[in-house]
Amino acid sequence: MADLTDDDLRETVRAKYAAAALATVDAPVSNCCGPVSTTDAAGNQVFGSVLYDGAESGAAPESAVNASLGCGVPTAVADLHPGETVLDLGSGAGTDVLISARRVGPAGKAIGLDMTDEMLALARANAEQAGATNVEFVKGHIEEIPLADASVDVVISNCVINLSGDKAQVLREVARVLKPGGRFAVSDVIADEDMDAATRADMAQWTGCIAGALTRQEFHDTLLAAGLTDVEIRETHRVHEHAASAIVRARKA
């Protein structure tokens, strides 16, 4: 792992999630998400569409929900309001963007950011199927968000930040694009303090949202260092012997 550059990591993650998008197109009603596992070691569904209930996912087509690879439902805790602008980091097939678009209404906007062409194509097709007109999907990296300073009210994300090789930079970018008083509400994986070196070195686990995760204290401290405040981290369910999914919220002063 020591020899792996951030660019190497990014390309490994991109290739795996591109393959997941193509697998969804080939089998649109599948819930297994192809090359990205949605189960833990015991076979329990801990990632993906199983986490959404019907009321929460109603704004998104079944094809988008089935393609979800997230570890939670950030829109359930983001407290979105009509007229707000929402940014989803690593928007994938677009499920959380489409849910957000309905919440913020015609006067608001939901933006999905993803680096994977195949996921962007899938998301745009899902948005067209949903008839959503207040959405936009843009290509880019979460370490270099292609949006203006203080341009969004809320940043959400669903099990993506832990995939970055530079999480501190991601959170600095989040603070930059948030308006004063803006909110950060994501689902992500947090590592136990005793996560072993072998798990952290396993690339398959990294692209499955485990090995790259910050601990609770690391996430808390990195958010504060980025300029965010009122940090709240709440575990929702276990996803691995050494990691859990959590809701992470903060605010820009």
Average pLDDT over residues 167-172: 96
3-class secondary structure per residue, the chain: CCCCCHHHHHHHHHHHHHHHHHHHHHCCCCCCCCCCCCECCCCCECCCHHHCCHHHHCCCCHHHHHCCCCCCCHHHCCCCCCCCEEEEECCCCCHHHHHHHHHHCCCCEEEEEECCHHHHHHHHHHHHHHCCCCEEEEECECCECCCCCCCEEEEEEECCHHHCCCHHHHHHHHHHHEEEEEEEEEEEEEECCCCCHHHHCCHHHHHCCCCCCEEHHHHHHHHHHHCEEEEEEEEEEEEECCEEEEEEEEEEC
Give the predicted TM-score (pTM) of the model.
Answer: 0.80
* Ordered structural domains, the chain, with CATH: 6-252 (3.40.50.150)
Average pLDDT over residues 117-129: 91
Which tens digit of pLDDT belongs to each residue from 69-102?
A: 667 778 888 999 999 999 999 998 898 999 999 9
- pLDDT in the model for residue 194: 87
Which tens digit of pLDDT belongs to each residue from 205-241?
A: 544 556 678 999 999 999 999 999 999 999 988 888 8
18-27, 100-109, 165-174, range with the lowest pLDDT: 18-27
Q: Is the pLDDT of residue 1 over 50?
A: no
Mean pLDDT of the chain, nearest integer: 80
